[in-house]
Structure 1
Amino acid sequence: MAHIANRSRFRVTVKNKPDLTQHFSFSKVAAVEAYMKELRAQGYKPRAEQLDESWLVRIRERGHKPLEATFESEAAATQFIEKTSEERKRGLFIDCWRRLNLDSVCRSNIDRGRIASVG
């Protein structure tokens, strides 16, 4: 099962008033609402939007390690999910971090003159 979450910043703008534009972290929804309330009290019509800067992908499937990655666009995140799902179905998915770790263990054992089976 794959999950995509938009972790981009929020931007609050006021038409024809660029000096009132502010950016907020994706987790600061209460601060966005407070700033918009403050602007409305001053007579402005603020507009809030979440940008398309950062997308978090979490993939959990039975029989595989959970996988988590961040991408700069929703399209890249969706493409990663499709590619990973296809590779896992066909048995081609390789966990690169695990392979790098195993390669370093094998090299260190070879350097010491030992042959070890790593599983």
Structure 2
Amino acid sequence: MFARKPPLRSVGTDPDYRFTLANERTFLAWLRTALALLAGAIALASLVHDFGPRPFRIAITVMLLTLAMAITVGAYARWDRTERALRENRPLPNDPLPRIVVTGVGIVVVAAGVLVYLAEFSR
């Protein structure tokens, strides 16, 4: 099904450690973003029970959880592709993760705006 990649240490040569550490910091920043989205999902699901229609809150929670999982998986894939490119002295690969995050967060922001509107004007 999927071709197994060779271990990272066996690919190319060690790059300048500063590039490896920068790649690691970027990976950790993506994970912090995923954790923030996860925290938002948990807060929405468990702390604001009477804020707007329940199905709408659940839909936003699911969107946040899905986005957090996509970022978590995508961050590792991005880190691995970048590290392999650095080790093989190739150009850095294009990455779809920023576009996915911007689209997902944009959808969540619009949905949250609708939720706030419904919560305020449906009383």
TM class, shorter-chain normalised? 0.3 to 0.5
Q: Greater strand share, 1 or 2?
A: 1
User: Larger radius of gyration, structure 1 or 2?
Assistant: 1
TM-score by length of 2: 0.33
Give the TM-score, by structure 1 length.
0.34
